[in-house]
């Protein structure tokens, strides 16, 4: 193999060297490139491209959407009420579960969720979910939100919050110590773990495509240097004969003063699986889901699956449902009277049935 290296004349060795050549070895040790912290990037790299984050968001959102709410008036349960009818069918396209799933999903991915009320004679008739990336808070003279700008295809609609009755827009958000108006998304807290998990998957795929061989350098140990034709021919033979899954396991026979030096770590050297599992566990914890429920190995905090499921409901789902219920009731109550509260009906939660027995 590579016998053409012996027969061709080599160019004389050159003594010249770039002043920056010593820095080339440090090129791979640069700073990491993190995903931008905007909504589109988090939704794309997290929800759309990461199976752990996708499943965790879906698990919490679907659990919250399955919660039944009880409307109470001064402590008395109401079986029939216009507010319950509005919640059951918020708009022609969605039912209550669809609305709750969308609100919860936006909160987990963006840290913010927006609802618009369509009112007739100051009574809400429909509720619509608005995408957070299209909404912008417009502060008033007091510094708080006086209106919201909704932007789509270069056109902006300003929705003022002034007026009698129910405000047109409800803005739900998570606590953010760095911003007065916008909430902090849980997915952003796991952004570095998302990048690590996604990058490890891409690296593993590239390694498999390269016949599971780590990167390396083919070093010529003879006198002089290769000609351009020799270099291109050597490069072509390597790519054709030793790269790709079809060439997996094919031995590399080196001659003509060539030597192979690996330049990257193997998956074993990197502790690949441990790093990937650690990143997955961090993503799950940031979204409030016990890692055991996502099939992530190495977490023995919970004795069994049922206990982990109860922890999910007690620590994540029920607080989220109460937050959304309180916000909806406080927003819509002016149109339906005072003294109303919307609380989750925990007696219907199957995951907590063992605690009730």
What confidence score (pLDDT) does residue 6 get? 52
How many Å apart are CA 35 and CA 25, to the nearest integer? 25
Q: Tell the burial category of 243 from Cβ atoms under 10 Å away from its Cβ (0-12, 13-18, 19+).
A: middle
Question: What's the angle, vertex CA 39, arms to CA 297 and CA 59, rounded to 5?
Answer: 35
pLDDT of 94 > 90? The answer is yes
How many Å apart are CA 324 and CA 328, to the nearest integer? 6
Interval 42-52: pLDDT, tens: 898 889 999 99
More confident residue, 274 or 22: 274
CA 351 centroid distance within chain: 26
Phi, psi of 43 (to 5 degrees): -65, -35
What confidence score (pLDDT) does residue 173 get? 95
What confidence score (pLDDT) does residue 19 get? 41
**CB count, 10 Å around CB of 185?**
27
Residue 76 lies in a domain: yes
Residue 254 lies in a domain: no
How many Å apart are CA 77 and CA 98, to the nearest integer? 24
Q: Name the band, by pLDDT with cuts 50, 70 and 90, for residue 24.
A: very low
Domain residues for 308?
40-192+286-356
pLDDT of 96 > 90? The answer is yes
The two structure tokens encoding residue 22: 């010593």
Phi, psi of 310 (to 5 degrees): -65, -40
Three-class secondary structure of residue 66 per DSSP: coil
pLDDT of 289 > 90? The answer is yes
How many Å apart are CA 211 and CA 262, to the nearest integer? 14
What confidence score (pLDDT) does residue 40 get? 86
Interval 113-167: pLDDT, tens: 999 999 888 889 999 999 999 999 998 888 888 899 999 988 999 999 877 778 9
Q: Which of 344, 339, 298 has the alpha carbon at shortest distance from 321?
A: 344
Residue 21 lies in a domain: no
Q: What does pLDDT average to over the chain?
A: 80
What confidence score (pLDDT) does residue 297 get? 79
Residue 249 lies in a domain: no
How many Å apart are CA 146 and CA 242, to the nearest integer? 64
Residue 8 lies in a domain: no
Interval 235-264: pLDDT, tens: 776 667 666 555 555 555 555 566 666 655
How many Å apart are CA 194 and CA 186, to the nearest integer? 12
Interval 155-211: pLDDT, tens: 999 999 877 778 999 999 999 999 889 999 999 999 999 988 888 888 777 776 765
CA 166 centroid distance within chain: 33
Hey, CA dihedral for 275, 276, 280, 283, is it positive or negative?
Answer: positive
Residue 25 lies in a domain: no
What confidence score (pLDDT) does residue 216 get? 66
What confidence score (pLDDT) does residue 38 get? 80
The two structure tokens encoding residue 45: 């790299």
**Residue 341's beta-bridge partner residues?**
72
Please tell me the total count of domains within the chain.
Answer: 1
Residue 240 lies in a domain: no
How many Å apart are CA 19 and CA 24, to the nearest integer? 10
CA 228 centroid distance within chain: 46
Asked if 93 and 129 touch (Cβ cutoff 8 Å), the reply is no
Asked if 260 and 252 touch (Cβ cutoff 8 Å), the reply is yes
Residue 35 lies in a domain: no
How many Å apart are CA 342 and CA 357, to the nearest integer? 25
Q: Name the band, by pLDDT with cuts 50, 70 and 90, for residue 10.
A: very low
How many Å apart are CA 351 and CA 357, to the nearest integer? 12
């Amino acid at each position: 193999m590579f016998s053409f290296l012996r027969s061709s004349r080599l160019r004389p060795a050159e003594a010249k060297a770039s002043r920056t050549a010593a820095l080339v070895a440090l090129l791979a040790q640069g700073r990491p490139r993190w995903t931008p912290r905007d909504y589109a990037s988090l939704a794309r790299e997290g929800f759309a491209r990461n199976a752990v984050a996708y499943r965790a968001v879906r698990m919490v959102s679907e659990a919250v959407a399955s919660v039944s709410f009880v409307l109470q008036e001064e402590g008395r349960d109401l079986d029939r009420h216009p507010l319950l009818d509005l919640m059951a069918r918020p708009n022609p396209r969605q039912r209550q579960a669809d609305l709750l799933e969308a609100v919860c999903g936006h909160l987990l991915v963006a840290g913010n969720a927006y609802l618009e009320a369509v009112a007739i004679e100051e009574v809400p008739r429909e509720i619509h979910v608005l995408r957070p990336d299209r909404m912008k808070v417009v502060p008033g003279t007091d510094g708080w939100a006086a209106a919201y700008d909704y932007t789509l295809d270069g056109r902006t609609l300003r929705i003022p919050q002034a007026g009698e009755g129910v405000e047109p827009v409800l803005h739900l958000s998570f606590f953010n110590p760095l911003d007065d108006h916008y909430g902090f998304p849980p997915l952003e807290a796991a952004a570095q773990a998302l990048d690590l998990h996604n990058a490890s998957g891409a690296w593993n795929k590239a390694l498999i495509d390269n016949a599971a061989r780590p990167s390396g350098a083919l070093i010529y140990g003879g006198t002089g240097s290769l000609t351009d034709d020799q270099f291109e021919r050597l490069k072509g033979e390597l790519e054709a004969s030793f790269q790709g899954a079809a060439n997996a396991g094919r031995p590399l026979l080196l001659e003509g003063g060539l030597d192979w030096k690996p330049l990257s770590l193997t998956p074993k050297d990197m502790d690949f699986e441990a790093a990937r599992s650690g990143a997955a566990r961090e993503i799950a914890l940031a979204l409030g889901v016990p890692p055991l429920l996502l099939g992530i190995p190495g977490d023995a905090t919970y004795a069994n699956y049922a206990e982990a499921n109860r922890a999910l409901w007690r620590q994540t789902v029920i607080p989220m449902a109460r937050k959304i219920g309180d916000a909806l009731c406080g927003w819509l109550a002016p149109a339906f009277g005072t003294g109303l509260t919307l609380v989750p009906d925990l007696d219907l939660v199957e995951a907590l049935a063992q605690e009730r027995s």
